[in-house]
Structure 1
């Protein structure tokens, strides 16, 4: 049994369990039953104090107001001075009241006062244990601490204690609901921002992609277009419970927290596909608690606003998969050069492996790391029965099929088969709305009239043709000032030789293709096919002759004199003496022969026959139906018969197109319709003068039978131009043109449902191309090469010319141009329009020397 040795001023306690002696330097306060715990072994004992003496009990029932020494022996660090002062003051008052009662000792009196104070004030005395020099613990100081008695706790405080957490929870919940509601109202706006990242697409007449325009390209596929295998694999890897959760997966969050805490690093995420889409919407990948809260709020908003399939569709279209590829459709094209529907199962799994860390797992930059990731996914999918067991050889074969370089991005593979077309569309959108930037605001779909197969061939054909001209030394860049060659001290650069090509369908006005220069670049964006105006040379002659034939001023058999001619200028003006190329003259010839041989002197005579009013009328019909445009660009003099007016390749193409379209010009169009990223139509071709030509939608310029007559003439002209050397077999009506000093070389040709203009020259009009720079040498062969490609690819049907009103054939005398008489020796069958049939019968007395005699008189 434990023992206690009592002295007058101290009590020695001996523990029965460990036999440790402890000295209690203060007497026990009053009689009662106490529990004493050994400081060394924590063995509790019970004792009854009676008259200052210990009586140890084996088992004693504790009374309600027993004083416990367990509390008495708590080890505390500080003494609260004000509480002790209050305690001492109260003790003195009680000492005076109880001075007559005998005390066992002075200290017991002190402790009784303490116990009395405790009962009244609800104080608990705490004793600090210290060790004397001989290592025996004893009590040296007293501290008092308030004890909370739940039974006496006020009802108001209880309510406050219980309601504060509830209020905090309600505030937090309310704030989240408010934020989710706000984000829900902004979901459409956020998704619209994503749509800006969709590439703007330029489509040809058959819906094939001509060009894509983007700064950041994302996919734009519908959920139904994605293969089921891809959707199943993505969901198994990224979010197996996608169709059952409501934006977040609580179980995954706690699992990830446990893994991250145990590993002391961020090893595992818990983001659902909805949360990943939310992260894409807020465009913030920084790891922070605030971003995760915002991400969860937007995830809830997405779930409230969209269906599960809509969320999955947006995710598959927007998720970043490395090298600038956003969305699985774009990634399939970049990594494998395939459509998403053509991917194998292994290719799908490789793309799926990129979603979590596209840079880290890039199969192009980090193939070994990528293989480790891929194998782990194979294991996951195999265990779940998604795929069959894989072979190592399959993985090696998959990686060997990747042809991209580590530095490649989707921007290197941006499709643009018609850069001049793209630039034209950009400018047109800007004219519709100056705030629109097709490079910054994506998702536009531009439907055009182009034929992408032809368009795709132009760049190579044009560059090859120009390079061959330079390599063959046929081009001699020559400085021309005032019609005279001058020495140019600057280094001549032949590589700036340019070309323009444009093809149209005259019947519909649809532009089929065009190429605006040698090669499109940041320094060469000028669209010469549409924006450039140059002198046309002899290519204008079919327009002049058609006007004269339609008006009845001449017919195809009319005789004109090919001889030197001089026009004296008015006072103060120079004389004008037009001459033929090569200074050759053939005497009296027919209009047909004059046009085929491109005689300048004859053209001037035809213009004289047409007259000033006729020139004004027909040039206005063909080129300048708008009065203001005509005032700016047209001058009514005989020089216009030789191509001194500046006309664009587009204007020349549609003018020649009238010959194969019953004498009718249809306003050209390239863009049929433009829709924005919401599907709203912002442009249609109806009643639009797309190229600002200031011409009506449709107009008749000559009669159908006059068209047939001019076609019959310039078919022969085209055959004489040299373009047949390219092997083209189609029936073409066309004309070459060369301007003074060989500055411009032209060929414009037409056939049923097709007209094309070709120009070759320098942008700087002070330079010529040398005396080989003629339309027949530089332009006609290029026209023929493009036409031959169209034939070889069978891109347009071969059709013969048709006319609603037919011209008629009559026999005429070749010497007079009149209807042949019985005495005419040289006759031929010639075609005439209805108002051009000769009314006179030849009355010449024919001899075999008639032509020779005429030439003698001239020369």
Structure 2
């Protein structure tokens, strides 16, 4: 009897083939889905973690770092061997043997998932942890786990074990905003990575699974237990011997997080952040590892901050004493009311902690010729108020505005020896313009003459006075500036017109709103320190204007230059007029209101400024190479009139103390005399040529051809 052969029926074959086809399609779709969530290999090869942007001063000294993640990349050879061994021992003892994943670990994790019904994050190799930390999310799903393993295999294929370990140690998050072992060493121990001990290395590795839980500052007992566990595992795997184990366990844990270093230049740093963040975006500035080379001299910055704060604290104590208030000399952290930035809103400032007024100040230094800003002090205490009084505050310049008036007079044909009126003058407003009252050669006293105007609602009357109330009649243009005579200033602006003064200020570099009124001569408009300093520096630079600048160049992480400062000069005034003005401003520091500066024994041109009721006190001074401006006052515009009566001469005192240090290595050069300038001895009272017998004759500068011709 013949055997019956087994055969498949057609329906069965069709069903099997269809099932196989569906399986292949489903598998293909699933694998496509899996691989679609993985980065391409070239991205892994080019991967660069979020880096720290570094800021350098003019001498290439690192002064600040911008980073959302506190991270620094360190080559493996610079990472202590104990730290490398601790990571391998604790996190992946088979690291140098596997191909990116552990079969035993995967089965253990899968079994746990099946039993508990929830995903388990453990059982990952260093390579898997790296793939998850760099490229994948932290969600605990099976799909992510599969992608993690595939990516780990690719990483093992593309990188050596040493490269993987190096990347892992620089990438791992260790709590408190610290990414990578170098940042963590600084954060927890205030040490360089090369200085950490075996016990400290074990503590850092112990943080990896749960930085918050094992934080030594928050949970010292748990942190110690975890550190000792890491040390025990290292000992079991023969990375350390018995003596090293005992010594490491005996080490004390850090008990207090290192206090942030009080760094100088924070107002400057904030200013360049405002410049660069809108230009490059937050991600690039904070994460791309830029190198920013700035103009600041951090040593000069530090001493300027220290001296200004010390002097203003002394003045605070004088004011408090005058008010009958006893204060602690060390109470320099008290807050005064502070304004908010006009550029962006800030959080409400803390309530005033002191029961006495607290002065604020600003100080700025720049290079006369280039405009490079060397020092920028925006106030006392960046932590108290980020409002930058050098670049954001708008204050009245007072008499420090007068050089613009004097320049307008020079351009109208005045000379330093020209006699100008130092007599009371009454200005009245007729509803359209300010006009000068002609007292008809003093036939009427101004007090009598102004009475009809006072009674009329259609007229406003203004009668300016010199500081101290004394008028000399007629003085030379030079003496009017040296003694900062208000009556000379208002009579000058009346003669040359406020519009001419505004044109001078605009050419010098001021962009502030300047009213077309006689009071402009006394600095009633508001200006920013940075603009005011740059504008006045134009006169010291032979009439050439250069804008302030703060950044020399910006490079990307690979050293490619993204931007570089390009000098831009504008010829604003003739070198002859600029020299005449700056030569008169030298007299301010030799015989005038800024004479305190003369103790430096240098050729310094300057101008003091004190506003009405002593609300703002200025001094701006310049050598041929360096210019600096100082301001002090109260943020809430409190008057000093009834207190210590500080003036611009007061500000000149601490300006001098700071600049004595800043200028100590600068040659004592004088301002260069341009062609077309001649010198003649004059009588400083008459403004005419000096007689041979004159005892107080003065050597004055003139544009050639404008010298006095008579005695």
SS at match of 2:681: strand
SS at match of 2:71: coil
Query: Within 1, Cα distance between the matches of 2:559 and 2:82?
Result: 27
The structural deviation recorded for 1:736 is 1.2
Larger Rg: 1
Residues 569-609 of structure 1: per-residue CA shift (max 9 Å, x gap): 55755444321111123454433333222111223344456
Residues 405-428 of structure 1: per-residue CA shift (max 9 Å, x gap): 4xx8xxx73876444344434443
Using the size of structure 1 for normalisation, the TM-score is 0.63
Residues 769-811 of structure 1: per-residue CA shift (max 9 Å, x gap): 53644433552234234334546xx7x6455344262755432
Alpha carbons 1:660, 1:801 under 8 Å: kept: no
The structural deviation recorded for 1:376 is 4.9
The structural deviation recorded for 1:816 is 2.7
2:653 is aligned with 1:776: no
The structural deviation recorded for 1:518 is 3.8
SS at match of 1:830: strand
Alignment of 1:314-353 (within 5 A): 314-344=167-197, 347-353=200-206
Query: Within 1, Cα distance between the matches of 2:498 and 2:492?
Result: 11
2:105 is aligned with 1:219: no
- Which structure carries more relative contact order (alpha carbon 8 Å, separation 6+)? 2
SS at match of 2:697: strand
Query: Within 2, Cα distance between the matches of 1:256 and 1:329?
Result: 32
Alpha carbons 1:420, 1:520 under 8 Å: kept: yes
Instruction: Pick from 594, 603, 608 the counterpart of residue 736 of structure 1.
Output: 608
Indicate the residue corresponding to 2:146 in structure 1. 293
Q: Relative to structure 1, is the Cα distance of residues 476 and 506 closer, same or farther in structure 2, using a 3 angstrom cutoff?
A: farther
2:530 is aligned with 1:650: yes
SS at match of 1:329: helix
SS at match of 1:583: coil
Q: Relative to structure 1, is the Cα distance of residues 704 and 333 closer, same or farther in structure 2, using a 3 angstrom cutoff?
A: farther
Instruction: Pick from 215, 224, 236 the counterpart of residue 88 of structure 2.
Output: 236
2:579 is aligned with 1:718: no
Alignment of 1:441-840 (within 5 A): 445-457=291-303, 459-473=305-319, 495=357, 497-520=359-382, 524-549=385-410, 552-555=413-416, 557-567=417-427, 573-607=459-493, 610=496, 614-624=500-510, 633-674=513-554, 685-686=565-566, 697-718=568-589, 721=593, 724=596, 732-765=604-637, 767=639, 770=642, 772-776=644-648, 778-788=650-660, 790=662, 797-803=666-672, 805=674, 808-822=678-692, 824-835=693-704, 838-840=707-709
SS at match of 2:150: helix
Greater CA deviation, 241-250 or 330-339? Answer: 241-250
Query: Within 2, Cα distance between the matches of 1:762 and 1:190?
Result: 57
Alignment of 1:75-474 (within 5 A): 175-176=30-31, 179-180=34-35, 182-185=37-40, 188=43, 195=50, 198-214=51-67, 216-223=68-75, 226-227=78-79, 229=81, 232-233=84-85, 236-237=88-89, 238-239=91-92, 242=95, 245-250=98-103, 253=106, 269-281=122-134, 285=138, 289-303=142-156, 311-344=164-197, 347-378=200-231, 381=234, 390-391=243-244, 394-395=247-248, 398-399=251-252, 402=254, 404-405=256-257, 413=260, 417-429=264-276, 431-432=278-279, 436=282, 445-457=291-303, 459-473=305-319
SS at match of 1:501: strand
Query: Within 2, Cα distance between the matches of 1:208 and 1:184?
Result: 38
Query: Within 2, Cα distance between the matches of 1:639 and 1:267?
Result: 77
The structural deviation recorded for 1:388 is 6.2
Query: Within 2, Cα distance between the matches of 1:201 and 1:769?
Result: 46
Residues 333-387 of structure 1: per-residue CA shift (max 9 Å, x gap): 1122233344455544443343344344434344454445444544555676655
Query: Within 2, Cα distance between the matches of 1:723 and 1:338?
Result: 49
Q: Relative to structure 1, is the Cα distance of residues 176 and 841 closer, same or farther in structure 2, using a 3 angstrom cutoff?
A: same
The structural deviation recorded for 1:183 is 0.9
Q: Relative to structure 1, is the Cα distance of residues 553 and 492 closer, same or farther in structure 2, using a 3 angstrom cutoff?
A: farther
Query: Within 2, Cα distance between the matches of 1:801 and 1:403?
Result: 57
Query: Within 2, Cα distance between the matches of 1:226 and 1:654?
Result: 47
SS at match of 1:513: strand
Q: Relative to structure 1, is the Cα distance of residues 612 and 253 closer, same or farther in structure 2, using a 3 angstrom cutoff?
A: closer
SS at match of 2:642: coil
SS at match of 2:659: helix
Query: Within 2, Cα distance between the matches of 1:441 and 1:388?
Result: 41
Query: Within 1, Cα distance between the matches of 2:598 and 2:691?
Result: 43
The structural deviation recorded for 1:741 is 1.8
Structure 1, unaligned stretches of length 5 or more? 1-149, 478-489, 688-696, 843-859
Query: Within 1, Cα distance between the matches of 2:112 and 2:629?
Result: 71
Alpha carbons 2:615, 2:633 under 8 Å: kept: yes
Structure 2, unaligned stretches of length 5 or more? 324-351, 432-457
Query: Within 2, Cα distance between the matches of 1:326 and 1:224?
Result: 16
Equivalenced residues, count: 650
Q: Relative to structure 1, is the Cα distance of residues 331 and 542 closer, same or farther in structure 2, using a 3 angstrom cutoff?
A: same
Q: Relative to structure 1, is the Cα distance of residues 812 and 804 closer, same or farther in structure 2, using a 3 angstrom cutoff?
A: closer
The structural deviation recorded for 1:545 is 2.8
Query: Within 2, Cα distance between the matches of 1:316 and 1:492?
Result: 48
Q: Relative to structure 1, is the Cα distance of residues 563 and 358 closer, same or farther in structure 2, using a 3 angstrom cutoff?
A: same
Aligned residues: CA RMSD: 4.8
Alpha carbons 1:202, 1:211 under 8 Å: kept: yes
Greater CA deviation, 640-649 or 268-277? Answer: 268-277
Query: Within 1, Cα distance between the matches of 2:230 and 2:398?
Result: 70
Query: Within 2, Cα distance between the matches of 1:274 and 1:415?
Result: 39
Alpha carbons 2:390, 2:529 under 8 Å: kept: yes
The structural deviation recorded for 1:539 is 0.8
Alpha carbons 1:502, 1:529 under 8 Å: kept: yes
Alpha carbons 2:304, 2:658 under 8 Å: kept: yes
The structural deviation recorded for 1:303 is 4.6
Indicate the residue corresponding to 1:4 in structure 2. none
Query: Within 1, Cα distance between the matches of 2:601 and 2:466?
Result: 30
Query: Within 1, Cα distance between the matches of 2:86 and 2:641?
Result: 62
